[in-house]
Amino acid sequence: MCQGIWRFAALTLLAASVSAWAGSSSSAATQQSQQDKPEALKPDKDTQKMIAACRLAMAEAKVVRLPGREQPLLQVTFPLYGHDSDFAYVAKALKQSKIPIDLTLKQGKGLTEDGLLQHLDSLPELQALRLEGGRITDKSLAHLANFKQLDTLSVVSDQITNDGLAPLAKLTGLQELTVQGRQISTAGLVHLKELTNLRLLRGQIMFASRRGSDAPPMLLKAARQFEPLDVRLARDTYLEA
């Protein structure tokens, strides 16, 4: 059984009969966002140059300290409308970073999966990574399994699958993990049971609206699958059912 403290932050059934859950989930997310507000720090001269280079490629960058972390992070957000060439420019600048990098990237039409993965390899200080995009696939998950330095990972894509989560079990240093997609179910989350350092596991399991009437049986099945991972989580899921 996982020795870490796992909290399942969002189990959402997108069905007409349970639409009220969406409001509750949104409220919880707002409260969590307020609690996790980062502290802005003044960058040194070298970091200022990197920040300026990021802005030339339409990316936002700043130095922050997150709650619960002593070490500052270079927090970078790459825009949805960025292209492969833009990300290559940003990655080249960030390669010089002497502080850990927290990268958020939303994949638009101009950024390919191959371009993304190629340039991520050049960021040895990458510590936190948040990816969102309709063309992020299991290929990305397999590639990210080599990023042993990651302690935070979030992947949101309807192209990732349960089987695709299996390689993430190699990231034993992960403390926070978020996975979300229409093809992800509790069967996929079971692959993560060996990640004993996790403090926080967020998952969102989306069911098609036509399955709304089947929600209770599906929750019962989910509860049984959570039992090897976390007894408290399994209990809460039984109560939801």
Inside any domain, residue 191: yes
The span from the CA of 98 to the CA of 148, in Å, is 18
Inside any domain, residue 143: yes
**Could you read off the pLDDT of 25-41 as tens digits, one per residue?**
455 545 555 556 889 99
Inside any domain, residue 2: no
Answer for the pair 107, 132: CB distance below 8 angstroms, yes or no: yes
Provide the residue range defining the domain that includes 102: 38-210
**Could you read off the pLDDT of 196-215 as tens digits, one per residue?**
888 777 665 444 333 445 55
- The domain total for the chain is 1
Inside any domain, residue 32: no
pTM (global) more than 0.75: no
Answer for the pair 145, 121: CB distance below 8 angstroms, yes or no: no
Inside any domain, residue 63: yes
Inside any domain, residue 28: no
Q: The domain spanning residue 44 has which CATH number?
A: 3.80.10.10
Q: Which residues of 27-39 are buried (b: 16+ CB within 10 A; e: fewer)?
A: eeeeeeeeeeebe
**Could you read off the pLDDT of 143-189 as tens digits, one per residue?**
999 999 999 999 999 999 999 999 999 999 999 999 989 898 877 87
Inside any domain, residue 181: yes
Angle of helix 113-120 versus helix 84-94 axis, rounded to 10: 10
Inside any domain, residue 30: no
